[in-house]
Homo-oligomer: A and B are copies of this chain.
Amino acid sequence: MKSKHFYGVILAGGVGARFWPLSRATSPKQLLRIAGEESLLKATIKRLRPLVPLEKISIVTNSTQAETIMTHLAAGVGARDKKKSRRPISRPCRPEIIAEPVGRNTAPAIGLAALTLLKKDPEAVMAVLPSDHLIGNGRTFLETLRAAERVAREGRLVTFGIVPTRPETGYGYIKAAKGAFKNVGKIKVRRVERFVEKPALKKAKKYLAQDGYYWNSGIFVWKAKTILEEIRLHLPGLYGNLLSMRRGADVKDVYKKIRPVSIDRGVLEKTSNIAVIEARFPWSDMGSLPSLGEVFPPDRDGNVIKGRVVDIGSRNSLIIGSDRVVATIGLKDMILIDTPDATLVCPKERAQEVKETVEILKKKGCMEHASHLTVERPWGAYTVLEKGDNYKIKKIRVEPGRRLSLQTHSRRSEHWVVVSGRARIQRGEETVLIGRNESTYIPRGVRHRLENPSKTKPLEIIEVQNGSYVEEDDIVRHEDDYERGF
């Protein structure tokens, strides 16, 4: 079933600020477990794997997110779902990471990925997939993908056009030219007539009634060679920059000169060598918080309510709670998202402005724009329980068989109390094993390492840090299983 020259390129450079407070700068939308056990990114990889093996999948992101994504793929555990995170880790899944120095929208990212593939395989066909979309019915997805690959092999650009199921005003549309261009099995492939910007409701209703209008999914399949040729034709500046990188120019320097442009605007809207393949799987671009409403079936009042929520008489509202209690009365067409350290409330129709909220938080220096209280690490996760002037309390969870780096702190000491599992602790020259209800002390400046020696049980400790400075960057790593910065 797998085709020799077929590759996956997953675009994962965004933050998804419109998903705040679920998303944070260090915990972008594609890493959220929105619909089930797996993050959108992992689900994207998994969906692809029956056709593309892991070693042929690459993830394009930027250098600030690369480590976060590697950690996420290595860890298999996460912040949001306590019950799930207690499960043993599934085997690690690590596609290649292509890290752009800075994000420059999709055209440069796709160009760079095409360039990278072409070096390995001149006949490479690449499926380009956003990392943060919600897609149902994997079988139909795969059938469509397989058909698209066949068309792409012939040198066409293929876009996935989702068959509309409602008069959606939040998506761009693709208008197919009249008459079928080709059928692959039962799947229609048509020539693209034009791209249509997000329409008003009246137009959207018209599009729904007529044949040949599709939602532009942002999923594409083409040969690396073909897209580079199209970039040469329509974005010659970008093409020049890609060429100079191929000739060995410093990627950072080149990226400074690249201007941001999307593949849609830069290439697809200009070329005539483009087809749309009719896609019939459930799809959402998860563009902003109201998209969450598509993930879960609404109750009879039109609400989607999750978490520890007590509601009286709300309607058509999206209320996503957490472990905290959220009480709502009489909300109408509202969104409420609650996380341990931040809560958002807004009308659905103003959900786009969440992005501005994040900007304000950033300007004010509020760390809630950047990270969650619970932070994933390759060895597990930690949660900040409390922070004072000269102390910080953390709950630290180490997955079975994993260990933190061998490290030193110059400005804080640490008290550790085990509350679950067993810990192997290296402290200076000695190594001790302590169990539940036992404690130890790591003086300032002493080299130490925390390890979970169990093969099955997670280790949980409470850490009380005392010191003149208790931030994350007071750390010197001497050895690390995950090759993080020293």
Where the two chains meet, the residues of A that have a C-beta atom closer than 8 Å to any C-beta of B are 20-21, 308, 310, 312-313, 324-331, 334, 336, 338, 341-347, 350, 353-354, 356-357, 360-361, 364, 366, 368, 383, 385-386, 388, 390-391, 393, 395, 413, 415, 417, 419-420, 436-437, 439, 441, 460, 462, 464, 466-467
Are A341 and B329 within 8 A (Cβ)?
A: no
Would you call A343 and B326 a contact (CB within 8 A)? Answer: yes
Leading 7 A-B pairs by shortest Cβ distance:
A329-B346, A437-B466, A325-B342, A391-B419, A417-B464, A385-B385, A325-B368
Kindly provide the distance from the CB of A386 to the nearest chain B CB, expressed in whole angstroms.
5
Across the two chains, which residue of chain B brings its CB closest to A437?
B466
Contacts of A327 in B (CB 8 A): 20-21, 342-346, 354, 357, 361
List 13 extra interface pairs beyond A327-B354, A385-B386, A462-B464, CB under 8 A: A312-B353, A325-B343, A328-B344, A329-B350, A329-B357, A330-B347, A330-B353, A331-B346, A391-B420, A391-B462, A415-B415, A417-B464, A436-B466
A390 adjacent to B420 (CB under 8 Å): yes
Q: Is the CB of B364 within 8 A of A345?
A: no
Given contacts A310-B361, A393-B393, A415-B417, contact A342 B326 (CB under 8 A): yes
What's the Cα separation between A347 and B334 when bound, in Å? 12
Q: Which residue of B lies closest to A352 (CB)?
A: B329
Distance in angstroms from A368 CB to nearest chain B CB is 4
When the two chains form their complex, are residues A341 and B325 in contact, meaning their CB atoms are under 8 A apart?
Answer: yes
Determine whether the beta carbon of B390 is less than 8 Å from that of A419.
yes
CA distance A142 to B329 in the complex (A): 40
A417-B439 Cα distance, complex, nearest whole Å: 11
A308 to B75, CA, bound (A): 33
The reply to whether B354 and A345 contact each other, CB–CB distance below 8 Å, is no
CB-CB under 8 A from A360, the residues of chain B are 310, 312
| CB nearest neighbor in B for A330 | B350
Q: Which residues of B contact A419 (CB under 8 A)?
A: 388, 390-391, 464, 466
